[in-house]
Chain A
Amino acid sequence: MKITSTGGAGSIDWSDGGGDSNVATVQDGEHTLAQVAERLGVNADDLQSANPQIADPLRLTAGQEIRLPSSTAGTPKETAADASQGGGNPVYVPDMSKRMDSSLGGDVMRALLNFGAIPIDNPGPGGTTPVSGHSPTGTAAAPGKAPAGSTPDALQALTANADFKNLSEPNQTLVKQTLTGNPPVTGDKVQKTIDLLGASKGLPAADQKLVLEGFQAAKGNPAYADSLKKLVSDPKFTSLTADEKVAVLSQTKNYPDSRSVDNIDRMLHKDWFTSQDLGDKQRSLKTVARLSQYPPNGDATIIGNTLNKFLSPTADYKLEWKSLHVDSGTTYGTGANKVLTLNKDLIDADNAKMPANATTNHLVLNTVSHEVNHLVNDDKVEDNFKYFQAEYRAWYVGFKAEHGRVPTNQEAMEQRIQWQLDPASFYGKHAAEAMKVPAEAQKFYDFLGSMTGKTVDAHNWQTVMNSDPSTWPGHKSSADAPAPAGNSDNH
């Protein structure tokens, strides 16, 4: 079987390639194994374990073939597995459809699906700890409450619940199979499910379907269910228009992660969001949802701080969408006066999941943090080294946010510094002016010297800048690029 992945995890194309290897291909814009894992919806550690031949999982090349973990092989995943549900700790959700005939055994699983009295007390890797203390007497739970006891008791509480009973038969099946297919079925998990059903019962059928599909995509995760319950109960949500509710619930389904849901809920409270039209709301929703669940693939601190600038109750930053592709060149985003402006031409205004490609990766995973770094540092365009450093810092922060590591000297030189000093670029014009002042020029030379390990002056700086990194002494090319001055984590 051969797997060719062309889009998000939900679009994996499964076709029989005639071989017995299961491989995916690194796509444009993907640089790390973690990014591939995010797209495929598999655990990053498992993917790395399945690919011992990859010497550096942080430097992949488009077109490179990646072996899929054995637990993924032969079983398409419906959505991206949540890499860190519940308090931000990575959780690998086991693929129970695969395990039905292996670790648990088909009989056991069939019994579970039929609500057989077989308690599951194996939470799986990183799974939720079951609630201790079964209910030996099988005492019925109070109406609307799931007992903190055995699996059968917990499920009985579900099936006895009025809101569950009011679901259509297919929806009842979806809920039951989501719980039993993602053990352990704890009292807490069932209670959170019941609470979610209660909170969403007044929604139109199509909206309720989105809620349940999100719950299914989150594999019944109680943290997700709890977050979604809070969101649909929030007066800010209930006051949305019908189309806006669909937009919100579509992204909670597309990004089935409690962090995404919590941040969407926070966003509903921000004036800048409520003042956006539907199209821009859709763009904001998918951007925030995708970025929220990206760590640990990217830098969690930078991304968390970046989102807080817009979403915390006291945040005074604003996000807006404008068409910036009216001229030569694609501007992904720009910022000034606590306003981040992103290019609306690059993100579709719809309720679909954002496709993971070079453009959207750069905009969401990199540009947002890059531009916010300018805003938190109150950077200004000037003809001096300070401005050069500000652009380098913002690039460094964007790189780290996207890749989860700092760049090397070679990467910084080739991808950024040469361009920042090229007179054909916006930055280069200001650098050229700055270098007319000897004291400022010396700062540029010192900076280039720190990256290359070479002595740099007015006569050789361009030669050094363009020199072969393999000639830089002391393995400077692979060493970490200089840590920039200023706020470099967007706190």
Chain B
Amino acid sequence: MDENIRRKIVDAAKSAYGWTTGENRVDEVEELRRPGCSFYTVANDARMRHHLANFALVGDKVIGSGDGTTVAKILDTCSQDAPADWWAEIVKRYHRDLGDGLVLRDESSKPGVAGKLSAAGATFMRPTLDKDKRALTFLLWDPELNVVFRIHATRSPGGPVHVEKTKVLPAAA
């Protein structure tokens, strides 16, 4: 990784989270890379049970996770020709209402979930993006609560991204 980029990301993490002690380890999420856009996680080891912080380098600007406007900014610049899996990862990582967790890209992402969904009368679904790219739906496993949510993200032209979380596992009555 380019040292200048690493330093930029570390500085952003220190500023956003106050991670001034311990090591801030930066990794690029290479599978998300798009023309003009790259994506990084930062792990600070000063405390136990930290989360990974997500930062995007869009052009020469570092963007951290935030609200629906932040997510829209990244999508507007970086999403051209990206598949639904990519969209789901970006919305999950950069919308602060979602965050840590696992996007269930296929049935092998979280073994056992498909069977449990079936037992609950639901079906497994891969991330899906509608034709005009205004609505995205995907399943997200929350490791803290051991809950699977269906995430429905929508946006109006030029507007912020709105997310709705619906618990699908464990199933409600």
* Chain A residues in the interface with B (C-beta under 8 A): 25, 28-29, 61-65, 325-336, 358-359, 362, 370-371, 374, 379-382, 390-391, 394, 414-416, 418-419, 422, 424-426, 429-430, 466-469
Distance from A55 Cβ to chain B, minimum over Cβ atoms (Å): 16
Which A residues lie within 8 Å of B46 (CB)?
A: 336, 381
A425 to B50 Cα, complex, angstroms: 10
Contacting residues of chain B (17-53) with chain A, CB-CB under 8 angstroms: 17, 22, 25, 27, 41, 43, 45-53
Which B residues lie within 8 Å of A390 (CB)?
A: 48
Interface centre among B46, B111, B170 (most CB of A within 10 A): B170
Of B27, B65, B102, the residue contacting A328 (CB under 8 A) is B65
Which A residues lie within 8 Å of B112 (CB)?
A: 414, 468-469
Which B residues lie within 8 Å of A370 (CB)?
A: 49
With A336-B47, A374-B49, A429-B25 in contact, do A327 and B99 touch (Cβ < 8 Å)? yes
9 A-B pairs with least C-beta separation: A329-B99, A63-B173, A329-B100, A328-B99, A381-B45, A328-B65, A374-B48, A466-B111, A419-B143
> Judging by beta carbons under 8 Å apart, are A336 and B64 in contact?
no
Of B16, B43, B146, the residue contacting A426 (CB under 8 A) is B43
Distance from B98 Cβ to chain A, minimum over Cβ atoms (Å): 7
A362 to B172 Cα, complex, angstroms: 18
> Judging by beta carbons under 8 Å apart, are A429 and B43 in contact?
yes
> Judging by beta carbons under 8 Å apart, are B53 and A328 in contact?
yes
> Judging by beta carbons under 8 Å apart, are B145 and A358 in contact?
yes
With A335-B48, A374-B49, A466-B111 in contact, do A328 and B54 touch (Cβ < 8 Å)? yes
B101 contacts partner chain A, Cβ-Cβ < 8 Å: yes
Sample (25) of A-B pairs whose CB atoms are under 8 Å apart: A62-B171, A325-B96, A327-B64, A327-B65, A328-B65, A328-B92, A328-B95, A329-B51, A330-B99, A330-B100, A332-B144, A333-B49, A335-B47, A335-B49, A336-B46, A358-B145, A362-B144, A379-B48, A418-B110, A419-B143, A425-B52, A426-B49, A429-B25, A466-B108, A467-B111
Which A residues lie within 8 Å of B27 (CB)?
A: 429
Of B41, B43, B93, B146, the residue contacting A415 (CB under 8 A) is B146
With A61-B171, A422-B102 in contact, do A327 and B51 touch (Cβ < 8 Å)? yes
B7 contacts partner chain A, Cβ-Cβ < 8 Å: no
> Judging by beta carbons under 8 Å apart, are B143 and A425 in contact?
yes
> Judging by beta carbons under 8 Å apart, are B47 and A329 in contact?
no
Of B17, B41, B100, the residue contacting A326 (CB under 8 A) is B17
Which B residues lie within 8 Å of A28 (CB)?
A: 147, 167, 170, 172
With A328-B93, A414-B112, A419-B102 in contact, do A64 and B47 touch (Cβ < 8 Å)? no
> Judging by beta carbons under 8 Å apart, are A63 and B172 in contact?
yes
B87 contacts partner chain A, Cβ-Cβ < 8 Å: no
B138 contacts partner chain A, Cβ-Cβ < 8 Å: no
In the complex, residue of chain B having the shortest beta-carbon distance to the beta carbon of A335? B48
Distance from A412 Cβ to chain B, minimum over Cβ atoms (Å): 11
In the complex, residue of chain A having the shortest beta-carbon distance to the beta carbon of B48? A374
Which B residues lie within 8 Å of A333 (CB)?
A: 49
Of A29, A328, A380, the residue contacting B51 (CB under 8 A) is A328
> Judging by beta carbons under 8 Å apart, are B50 and A334 in contact?
yes
Which B residues lie within 8 Å of A325 (CB)?
A: 96
Distance from B150 Cβ to chain A, minimum over Cβ atoms (Å): 15
Starting from the known contacts A332-B144, A425-B143, A466-B108, 19 additional A-B residue pairs (CB-CB under 8 Å) come to A62-B172, A63-B173, A327-B53, A328-B92, A329-B98, A329-B101, A334-B49, A335-B48, A358-B145, A358-B147, A379-B48, A380-B45, A381-B45, A391-B48, A394-B48, A415-B143, A422-B102, A425-B100, A426-B43
> Judging by beta carbons under 8 Å apart, are B173 and A326 in contact?
no
> Judging by beta carbons under 8 Å apart, are B102 and A424 in contact?
yes
Distance from A454 Cβ to chain B, minimum over Cβ atoms (Å): 15
A419 to B54 Cα, complex, angstroms: 18
Which B residues lie within 8 Å of A418 (CB)?
A: 110-111
Which B residues lie within 8 Å of A329 (CB)?
A: 51-52, 98-101
Which A residues lie within 8 Å of B53 (CB)?
A: 327-328
With A29-B145, A63-B171, A414-B112 in contact, do A381 and B100 touch (Cβ < 8 Å)? no
A371 to B52 Cα, complex, angstroms: 18
Distance from B70 Cβ to chain A, minimum over Cβ atoms (Å): 10
In the complex, residue of chain A having the shortest beta-carbon distance to the beta carbon of B93? A328
A374 to B96 Cα, complex, angstroms: 26
With A61-B170, A358-B147, A426-B43 in contact, do A331 and B16 touch (Cβ < 8 Å)? no
Interface string of B110-135 (1 = CB under 8 A from A): 11100000000000000000000000
Distance from B65 Cβ to chain A, minimum over Cβ atoms (Å): 4
A424 to B27 Cα, complex, angstroms: 11
Which A residues lie within 8 Å of B47 (CB)?
A: 334-336, 381
A377 to B48 Cα, complex, angstroms: 11
With A62-B171, A422-B102, A466-B111 in contact, do A327 and B143 touch (Cβ < 8 Å)? no
A424 to B51 Cα, complex, angstroms: 11
Which A residues lie within 8 Å of B54 (CB)?
A: 328
Which B residues lie within 8 Å of A467 (CB)?
A: 111
> Judging by beta carbons under 8 Å apart, are B51 and A331 in contact?
yes
Contacting residues of chain B (54-103) with chain A, CB-CB under 8 angstroms: 54, 64-65, 92-96, 98-102
Distance from B122 Cβ to chain A, minimum over Cβ atoms (Å): 13
Which B residues lie within 8 Å of A25 (CB)?
A: 173
With A29-B145, A325-B96, A466-B111 in contact, do A426 and B102 touch (Cβ < 8 Å)? no
A33 to B51 Cα, complex, angstroms: 32
